[in-house]
Structure 1
Amino acid sequence: MTDSAARSPLTILIAADTYPPHINGAAQFGYRLAKGMSARGHNVHVLAPHTTKGKSFTEPGGDWTVHRLRSHSVPTHDYWRICFPWEIKREISMLFDRVQPDVVHVQCHYMVGEYTLYEAVKRGIRVVATNHFMPENLNPFLPFPQWFKSIVARNSWRDMGRVMGKADVVTTPTPLAAKAMHEHAFLRKVLPLSNGIDAAAYEPRPGEQIERPDHPIVLFVGRLAEEKHVDVLIDAVAKTPDHLNLHLEIIGGGEVKPALKAQAERLGLGDRVRFLGLVDDEELRLAYLRATVFCQPGTAELQSLVTLEAMSASTPVLLANAMALPHLVENGSNGYLFTPHDSSELSRRLTEIISLPEAERELMGKMSRSMVEKHSIDATLSTFEDLYRGRLHETETV
């Protein structure tokens, strides 16, 4: 490759089965990837499902182009949309004709990602495939007995290997996720590559004074879904000593929100648990900054961008000892792990951190912030650029 070719802008097609306004880690990564690559001068196109009923179309305006495919709602999910192959295959092919991408980056092995990958392979276009999902993430939305869900999960793993095995490079956010893909999807070469975070975006601004209430706050951010186990956190808050007056702030929406509200009322926490719903980026930043501690009780996290965001705001963390979350904790330094589903242990850890002198909590927060440095979004974008151009291979260490 010549020097000029190595520096020339690329036309990048990002295929995502979930994308904003959806609220989840995969959607946010797709958005940040598009934003970052566009800022680096590349011609970026995103292909994602239509957010409502209607024909496929291209969104007007924007720094990059977003193409929406005809999609259909899912009865068991409040916003997820699926695309039927017989409705999108031809439109994907026509989009390739118009866009003429140099590289395709798929974010999933399901509908949009799968058929975009097939079209790229057929045309000899370089493909990078990133996996953000564990098949078990689908369990809460499958109205079937567990034995049948297990069959679905095994088939999904097999499909992941079959589809992503055709890509030139396969990545996933953490080494643990890569190991799972080796073992269950039989993908031999998977590059662990952090989703990346712009840590500076969550810091206090020069001269800014953060207004904090006179009571401690434990914060949760994320989709209110079964696998997030926010009910465990609510139980833990109820078990903390009354004199701490610990409050819980919950940011996000989802199918279990009514049950969580009912649980808080039943436990007498109505005035200490605030459901803030979906918030904008500035409100989210301030929530991280005013929190005393951040908690992620979920058991199906491939990386947990919201935990990285909280750590960027110099917040101590309490994380379930499951999936990739242990990679984000140095026990006793920036927070603690707790046994999944164990609200009593979580309550003890909450009490322990909140009872610390403020100076010691600040040291824990500073350790969180320092640990985020290795997850720099700039490093992630640079690595993906190298992968797009074929300058880095999945067997290399990042």
Structure 2
Amino acid sequence: MSYPADSKPLTILIAADTYPPNVNGAAQFGYRLAKGMNGRGHDVHVLAPGSANGRSFTEPGGDWTVHRLRSHSVPTHDYWRICYPWEIRRDISLLFDQVQPDVVHIQCHYMVGEYTLYEAVRRGIRVVATNHFMPENINPFLPFPDWFKKVVARNSWRDMGKVMGKAAAVTTPTPLAAKAMRDHAFLTDVMPVSNGIDSAAYEVQPGEVIEPYEHPTVLFVGRLAEEKHVDVLIDAVARTPEHLRVHLEIVGGGEVKPALQAQAARLGIADRVTFRGLIDDDELRRSYIRASLFCQPGTAELQSLVTLEAMSASTPVLLANAMALPHLVSDGENGYLFTPGDSEELGARITQILELSGEDQRAMGAASRTMVGRHDINTTLETFEGLYYGTLSPAAAADEDGVHAAPAGSGADRPTRIQ
């Protein structure tokens, strides 16, 4: 295994099975990681599936280089692409010859990540592996009965262990996700490292005026997929008192959108539910700031970048008590957890927050902003640099709570908690 010297910038190859223009947390993290490492002076290359049919190619221009692999559409998903091993192995090998990476960072154990890791290991190149997925994330796109999906999930966990076990370091966004990987993929020394966020980007800037919505508004941002359970949120809004006139803003697209629109109409609240679709980053930032509170009812979140973004905008949050979401709530301080799938409880929590005084709602939002500080993107980038150079060891640095020493040369003199 080769360890690059820490006295020079690195050539980093980031292998991602989903990357912009895809809209999801893993794709966003891959983009932010590439941008951050490029900004720190490294030579960054991203390897990802192409977003349309055609041969493998390298995108022209850009602050860092993006290489696209030949890929194919999936009938059950509107943008996901898969790469066939027999079509990409040679292209991956040729890319290694061209790029000569010092370190490889895979973002998934499927397809692109798997075969990029195998090539790196064959060449003795250091590999860092990050897991952003739970096997349950793909269940809505598998046209099989539940018993067969469970078989697929067990095999996926097993494959994760087989593939990522070959990496020099393995990370995932939260301690809970790390525990799941230890329990199901039998991976030891999994290091929780937050995806990180530039929280200042979501604050109201000096001299900037962004008026709140006319009516109290609950915001959801994310893919409209079954595991997000946006139907529970729509039902909850319908249960709130009429005098509050609670509105719901839904940002994102996906396969269940028509069903959600029909549900809002059936419940008689279509005039209070706005489906924004995909919007640009500036409009999304304004939505976070204008909203009264943010809700994430999903049950398969490994971290939830959109929740971190909402918290950065000083917005109270209501999150399902599932997977990693509890790490983002201090009950009664910056919001509340609710029982997954329980629209009655969620409706009561929405009502509880919106009936608070304006001062108390602002205090909740301020608590969100304070809590998100531990997820600063610069800490995340420093941690990954330590893993890239081999100066930070997950086995020596991580404990059950996700506390690890700051990487050498980071300037930190105390442990940093990553959640």
- TM-score by length of structure 2 reads 0.94
Instruction: In structure 2, give the amino acid aligned to 1:307.
Output: T
1:4-19 equivalences in 2 (<5 Å)? 5-19=5-19
Asked if residue 100 in structure 1 is aligned to residue 100 in structure 2, the reply is yes
In 1: Cα distance, 2:13 partner to 2:111 partner: 15
Per the alignment, residue 171 of structure 1 pairs with: 171
Displacement, 1:241? 0.4
Per the alignment, residue 86 of structure 1 pairs with: 86
1:328-347 equivalences in 2 (<5 Å)? 328-347=328-347
Per the alignment, residue 401 of structure 2 pairs with: none
In 2: Cα distance, 1:150 partner to 1:77 partner: 20
In 1: Cα distance, 2:119 partner to 2:6 partner: 25
In 2: Cα distance, 1:218 partner to 1:355 partner: 13
SS in 2 for 1:6: coil
Where structure 1 has 5 or more consecutive residues not aligned to the other structure, the ranges are none
Per the alignment, residue 316 of structure 2 pairs with: 316
In 2: Cα distance, 1:384 partner to 1:245 partner: 46
Per the alignment, residue 137 of structure 2 pairs with: 137
Displacement, 1:214? 2.1
Per the alignment, residue 190 of structure 2 pairs with: 190
Aligned residues of 2:10 and 2:103 also touching (Cα < 8 A): yes
Displacement, 1:282? 0.3
Per the alignment, residue 52 of structure 2 pairs with: 52
Instruction: In structure 2, give the amino acid aligned to 1:361.
Output: Q
What count of residue pairs does the alignment treat as equivalent? 395
Displacement, 1:205? 1.0
In 2: Cα distance, 1:123 partner to 1:315 partner: 47
Instruction: In structure 1, give the amino acid aligned to 2:10.
Output: L
Asked if residue 40 in structure 1 is aligned to residue 40 in structure 2, the reply is yes
Aligned residues of 2:213 and 2:291 also touching (Cα < 8 A): no
Per the alignment, residue 307 of structure 1 pairs with: 307
Per the alignment, residue 125 of structure 1 pairs with: 125
Question: For each residue in 1:219-252, what CA deviation from the matched residue of structure 2 results, as whole angstroms up to 9, or x when unmatched?
Answer: 0000000000000000000000010000000000
In 1: Cα distance, 2:5 partner to 2:338 partner: 50
In 2: Cα distance, 1:8 partner to 1:21 partner: 32
Displacement, 1:5? 4.1
In 2: Cα distance, 1:211 partner to 1:193 partner: 35
Displacement, 1:189? 1.4
Displacement, 1:173? 0.3
Per the alignment, residue 203 of structure 1 pairs with: 203
SS in 2 for 1:349: helix
Per the alignment, residue 411 of structure 2 pairs with: none
Displacement, 1:102? 0.2
Per the alignment, residue 283 of structure 1 pairs with: 283
In 2: Cα distance, 1:277 partner to 1:33 partner: 25
1:233-312 equivalences in 2 (<5 Å)? 233-312=233-312
More deviation in 379-388 or 208-217? 208-217
Per the alignment, residue 393 of structure 1 pairs with: 393
SS in 2 for 1:295: strand
In 2: Cα distance, 1:301 partner to 1:37 partner: 25
Aligned residues of 2:5 and 2:389 also touching (Cα < 8 A): no
- TM-score by length of structure 1 reads 0.98
Displacement, 1:7? 3.5
Per the alignment, residue 368 of structure 1 pairs with: 368
Asked if residue 71 in structure 1 is aligned to residue 83 in structure 2, the reply is no
Question: For each residue in 1:94-141, what CA deviation from the matched residue of structure 2 results, as whole angstroms up to 9, or x when unmatched?
Answer: 000000000000000000000000000000000000000001111000
In 2: Cα distance, 1:266 partner to 1:229 partner: 17
Per the alignment, residue 227 of structure 1 pairs with: 227
In 2: Cα distance, 1:223 partner to 1:312 partner: 20
In 2: Cα distance, 1:7 partner to 1:232 partner: 52
